[in-house]
Amino acid sequence: MKPDYSKKATNQEIRERFDKDIERFSNLETGQQTTIDAPLTMDLCTEAAKYVNPNATELLDIGCGAGNYTLKMLSKVPNLNCVLNDLSMPMLEKAKERVSLQTKGMVTIIQDDMRNLELPDNHFDIVLAAATLHHLRGDDDWVLLFVKIYKALKPGGSFWISDLVTHDSAPVARLFEDRYSSYLEGLGGPEYRRKVLDYVNYEDTPRSLTYQLALLQKVGFSKVDVLHKNSSFAAFGGIK
């Protein structure tokens, strides 16, 4: 039986929440506190992209938020042409403002659901997706997007993901849910923990790391690697 996602947040609800939180997400230290090891995974994903594609010219950042990942990428591979995608126009405007100051390349913004992206084939050297794929719902969505990204990458191009993940074993899933709950309570107390877990439960439908690694291979990525995993968060990717 297929899961029922009818009670999950709509795109409009997700967009409206992020529309109101631009300044927080413009600061990595405060904006990504709910993501364990956020500064480390951002550094690892962009460093891996630099090592794999040191001469890159074309970058796509899916679910770019206020542009933190693109800015980090530009600090390692300068003057990229940057395509920034997000549901939230205020986020995109902030990202474009910040990114345009750091590159001589073209900066293009696309406000749309990532599943609707129309991307040129064999065009991008690097695709980044940080804390966004967990908004995908059914398996069809996941396959659709991974195929889209694979086709959009140049041969040798790379796709790097940093995200919330679930676990295939129910007891292991409970283990990491409990650890994440404790982590959040340590950050801001019981009320903060409840607030974060409520919107995670309402908005997010993450998949396991093993599911996503297998999907990367299934759609054609020739090399797949895990950069980091801690509790319910992982950084990983594939090379076309």
Distances from the Cα of 39 to the Cα of 42, 68, 97, 125, 127, angstroms: 5, 10, 22, 23, 18
Edge-first strand listing for the sheet containing 107-111: 107-111, 81-86, 58-62, 124-130, 153-164, 233-239, 223-230
Given a cut of 60, whether residue 189 has pLDDT beyond it is yes
pLDDT value, residue 27:
58
In this structure, what are the phi and psi dihedrals at residue 93, rounded to the nearest 5 degrees?
-65, -40
DSSP string, 125-192: EEEEEES-GGG--SHHHHHHHHHHHHHHEEEEEEEEEEEE-B-SSHHHHHHHHHHHHHHHHHHHHHHH
SS3 at position 58: strand
Position 207 in a domain: yes
pLDDT value, residue 32:
73
Position 177 in a domain: yes
Position 3 in a domain: no
SS3 at position 67: coil
Domain residues for the domain of 154 are 11-239
Position 5 in a domain: no
Position 181 in a domain: yes
Position 52 in a domain: yes
Q: Comparing 34-38, 129-133, 134-138, which segment has the lowest mean pLDDT?
A: 34-38
Position 6 in a domain: no
pLDDT value, residue 121:
98
Neighbours of 237 (CB within 10 A): 27
What's the chain's average pLDDT? 93
Summarised one tens digit per residue, pLDDT across range 59-104 is 999 999 999 999 999 999 999 999 999 999 999 999 999 999 999 9
Distances from the Cα of 231 to the Cα of 43, 173, 209, angstroms: 18, 10, 11
Given a cut of 60, whether residue 31 has pLDDT beyond it is no
pLDDT value, residue 53:
98
Position 20 in a domain: yes
Structural domains of the chain, count: 1
pLDDT value, residue 23:
62
Nearest C-alpha neighbor of 86 from the set 120, 121, 116, 49: 116
Instruction: Report the CATH number that the domain containing residue 112 is assigned in CATH.
Output: 3.40.50.150
Neighbours of 223 (CB within 10 A): 12
